[in-house]
A = this chain, B = another copy of it.
Amino acid sequence: MDADGIHGQLDTLILATLKRGEAHGYAIIAALRETSGEQLDLPSGTVYPALRRLERSGYVEGKWTQAGGRRRRVYAITAEGLIALAKGRADWLALREVMASVLGA
């Protein structure tokens, strides 16, 4: 699955990934590829703007780090981000139920 199938769940996926520990954008992409069983392969043009959006919203905090000459922007989930994640999860479960009842369980 490429990213055009995630339909509004991108923020929830990123926040869920960051809940396991802080990470930089490239690592988040790799982590999602792994945890999804190689099914998700998000383009940078999708993830980096999403991280900036999440930071603007106060759900994540980013800081610049250095790793052998390579600059990295490492993001950590905030308290507000945890609340947003809980809401995202609840919304997802609600959608799942609606889809199940309409598509047939």
- Which A residues contact B (CB, under 8 angstroms)? 1, 5-9, 12-13, 16-17, 32, 35-37, 39-40, 89, 91-92, 94-99, 101-104
Contact = CB atoms under 8 A, between A and B. Distances in A.
B98 A96 contact: no
Contacts of A91: 1, 5
Contacts of A92: 99, 103
How many copies of this protein are present in the complex? 2
Contacts of A89: 103
Nearest to A36: B98
Residue of A13, A92, A103 contacting most chain B CB atoms (<10 Å): A103
A58 B89 CA distance: 35
Contacts of A5: 91, 94-95
Sorted nearest first, the 5 A-B pairs with minimum C-beta distance are A7-B8, A7-B7, A36-B98, A35-B102, A16-B102
